[in-house]
Structure 1
Amino acid sequence: MTTLLIKNACIVDGTQTEPTAPMQIAIENGRIAEVAPTVTFTADEELDLAGLTVMPGLIDCHVHTIATTANLGANAALPSSLVAAKASHLMRDMLMRGFTTVRDLGGADRGLQQAVEQGYFAGPRLVICGKALSQTGGHTDYRGPYDNRDVSWYVNQLGTLGRICDGKPELMRAAREELKNGAQFLKVMADGGVSSPSDPIGYLVFSVEELTALVEIARGFGTYVSAHLYDDTAITRALDCGITCIEHGNLISDATITRVAREGAFVVPTNITYDLLARKGAEFGLPPESVAKVADVREAGLERLTKMHAAGVTMGYGSDLLGGMQTEQSGEFPLRGRYIPADAVIRSATVDAAKVLRMEGQIGAITPGAYADIIAVNGNPLKDLNLLTDQGAHIPLILQGGRAVKNATTL
């Protein structure tokens, strides 16, 4: 692989309120070898980024790469080959927005991950949980009240976000099977959801015994459990069971926020999805019963951002968008920026996102040893978070593992 020397890199990674002084970044074998004001490094290629802001590749901690429509029941019924084809376009667009790593929270499998790794699909580095784990009538059970067909077909459909497993033995077997199949962490639906028909917000999904067993399996495998959670009672219960990553968390209480900060758990808010669902959910195929649930969590989630930031909770950047709404993936940046400082918003998609993914030192930072995932921005995102929106229009350079997947710096 060729070596690359980046010059005049004024770096923004969310750890400071101003860009750094101009730095040089030496890249070798797809990773960052050295970062300093001056480096002694002979490179095959040099790139001068004077006048641009240099950032680590962005990380989205909550995506659904296989959600080709907001109607997830309909998505589950699509042929897997068609879902894969559509997913390839969704992933390519994510990469072109500057997201060089994403964590899929239900649906993407090892095959889709390998398609990216082997270059068949252009897309972000995928971190996967396989199918999310849910119970009959829980989130990802899309059958509705008058449909009692067998749910075993969910497991083999790429277009399904989750699988149904009832009771401790079945849940444990499903968890072990997902890990065997390449899952890097486990995802459990531990509360009701918006996009499914029969589970109200605050629905305590799975028993304490089941959730505790799931955590034990994950820890034995050297990984963790991430949980779909809104209601404070459900969140507290999940924390008691050893779950360490809270997805959404819109209805979390002040006391639980303090606990999360104290115990070092993570929260991944996904407020852009509720903002869009409230305005355009029906237009993008979300069923009416799901649209009606959005108001329950929309405003509360935004108000909680300020509380969590003040308490020092580590928050990851998350979008959780479905189907055609995925074009608004970067909209979470300015939305969060109305409530918390810009450096904290950026940090949620860089350094803190890497913590959520348990990949500190590998992604989300421009430091020696990290993957050379780097983007350059026209302007300073600390002053204007909208520079990270518009489908990457303000991002002329995107490096992934030291390889340029977009380079318009000379245009």
Structure 2
Amino acid sequence: MGTILLQNASIIDSQSPEKRDGHHVVIEDNKIKEVSDKPITTSIEQKIDLAGKTLIPGLIDAHVHVKATDINIGKLSDYPITYLTAGAGKLMKEMLMRGFTSVRDTGGADKGLADAVDEGLFIGPRLFVSGLSLTQTGGHGDFRSSTLSASPVTCACQLSTQPLGRIADGVDECRRAARDELRKGAHQIKIMAGGGVASPTDPIQNTQYSVDEIRAICEEAEAWNTYVCAHAYIPKAIIRAINNGVRTIEHGNLLDNESAKVMARNNAYLVPTNITYQALYKHGREFGFPQTSMDKLGDVLEVGLRAIEIANNNNVKIGHGSDLLGKCQTYQSDEFLLKAEVLGNYEAIRQATQVNAEILNMSDQLGVVKSGALADLVVIDGDPVADISLLTNQGQHMPAIMKNGVFFKHEL
């Protein structure tokens, strides 16, 4: 890879809300070797003068589904896995070109896809995969219609209802399913702890998985030195999940003060994904989102930003996610606009860098511009703290994007 010197950068990262002008960054192989406010005069192969452009850490999206190539998740099982994988390749490249150098896939992507990206077979962000998400029968991950009879299998853990999830019922099946996903290379485990929008049969207001099942899954993740993230909207589902070992709550649109206090007390994270509801409201019918799911959108659409405010007021750590499906994936960066309405521009950036790096257990390696960190960097024309829209528009304000010390976009 060699050595690269980025000169005259204005750095924005979690170390300070103020831009650090006139800085110089040395990249050696895939790591940041040095960051200095003084000129670096040592002999370096490649020198690039950023001329005061902004340099930020590579962005991180903590809630994506790279195999969700169709907005109707229930239809994904109709596609050959090869087709979905090819579609994932396209989606991942587009994510990287928006400045997302790392993403956490919360259902569908596996170690094989992560390895393919690492080895250069696909161009895309660094993948932190959950394998197949775990759902109970009739839960958010069960996309069988209410008219479909139960399959004649001896164990529900044999059911994979579509390419994003698998059914596991009872403590033993849940343990087995969690162990199996970890065996196959999952970085973390994803469970469905309450009702959802995209699934056909479960109401938003229900809870899913017993406390014993949740605890068993969390025990297995803890045994592998990792954690569980849980889909949950309502306070009761959030509290049950957190009190039984879950570390991150996905969505959380109906969070209240009581559930927020439980999260804060347990050092848990909230990963809001408000852009997906906005995009579905605008384009769901046009792109083929099922009517049963459109009917449930109203329960979560208007309250999501209020949940972020409640979380922030209760000192809950807030990450950054998108959870977009199919053709709506192009809206990924617009989550910044929604976050900034509530928390301000700098905090929206910090959550997509430093906080998400914490969620991934990659603090000091990702989400920061400092010596020893991985060289995931994005150059921006302008100051995103002053104008958060510079992070949107499909990366058009990003003349350079580097992941792991390699330029994947270089228009400087």
Q: CA deviation at 1:308?
A: 1.8
Contact 2:218 2:245 in 1 (8 A): yes
Equivalent in 208, 215, 219 of residue 216 of structure 1: 219
Query: TM-score normalized by structure 1?
Result: 0.96
Cα pair 1:79 1:157 within 8 Å, conserved: no
Residue equivalent to 1:31: 31
- Trace 1:353-392 onto structure 2 (pairs within 5 A): 353-392=356-395
5 Å matches for 1:8-19? 8-19=8-19
Conserved 8 A contact 1:154-1:162: no
String of CA shifts for 1:208-244, please: whole Å, max 9, x gaps. Answer: 1111111111111111110001000010111110111
Q: Secondary structure at the match of 2:62?
A: strand
Deviation of 1:78 (Å): 0.8
Instruction: Give the superposition deviation at 1:155.
Output: 7.0
User: Structure 2: which 5+ runs fail to align?
Assistant: none
Query: Could you tell me which amino acid in structure 1 is paired with residue 246 of structure 2?
Result: I
> Is the 1:67–1:159 Cα contact (8 Å) retained in structure 2?
no
Superposition deviation, residue 355 in structure 1: 0.6
Q: Partners in 1 of 2:191 and 2:161 — Cα distance?
A: 18
Q: Is the 8 A contact 1:306 1:339 kept in 2?
A: yes
Rounded to whole Å, the distance in 1 between the matches of 2:240 and 2:226 is: 20
Alignment of 1:131-210 (within 5 A): 131-148=132-149, 150=151, 160-210=163-213
Determine whether 1:48 maps to 2:49.
yes
Is the partner of 1:193 in helix, strand or coil?
A: coil
The whole-number CA distance in structure 1 between the counterparts of 2:223 and 2:351 is 28
Task: Structure 1: give runs of 5+ residues left out of the alignment.
Answer: none
Q: Which amino acid letter does the alignment assign opposite residue 141 of structure 1?
A: D
TM-score w.r.t. the length of structure 2 is 0.96
For residue 35 of structure 1, give the secondary structure of its aligned residue in structure 2.
strand
Among residues 214, 221, 234, which one is paired with 1:231 in the alignment?
Answer: 234
Bigger shift: residues 220-229 or 303-312: 303-312
Pick one of 258, 265, 269 that aligns with 1:266. Answer: 269
CA distance in 1, matches of 2:91, 2:325: 10
Structural RMSD (CA): 1.7
- Tell me, in whole angstroms, the C-alpha distance in 2 between the residues paired with 1:266 and 1:370: 23
**In the TM superposition, what whole-angstrom CA distance separates every residue of 1:20-60 from its partner, at most 9, and x where no partner exists?**
12211111121001111124543210111113111000000
1:252 counterpart = 2:258: no
Shift of 1:157: 7.2
Amino acid across the alignment from 2:21: A
Number of equivalenced pairs: 409
- 1:104: which partner in 2? 105
- The 8 Å contact of residues 93 and 123 in structure 2, kept in 1 or not, is answered as yes
Q: What is the CA distance between 1:310 and its match in structure 2?
A: 2.8
In structure 2, how many angstroms separate the alpha carbons of the residues matched to 1:263 and 1:26? 39
The one-letter code matched in structure 2 to 1:80 is I
Q: Which string of whole-angstrom CA distances, capped at 9 and with x for unpartnered residues, describes residues 292-328 of structure 1?
A: 1111011111112122223322111100000000000
- Partner of 1:286, secondary structure, is coil
- The reply on whether 1:22 has 2:25 as its aligned counterpart is no
- Contact 1:71 1:287 (C-alpha < 8 Å) held by counterparts: yes
Q: 1:51 to 1:301 in 2, by over 3 A?
A: same
Residue in structure 1 matching 2:325, options 322, 326, 339: 322
**% identical equivalent positions:** 44
Aligned to 2:308: 305
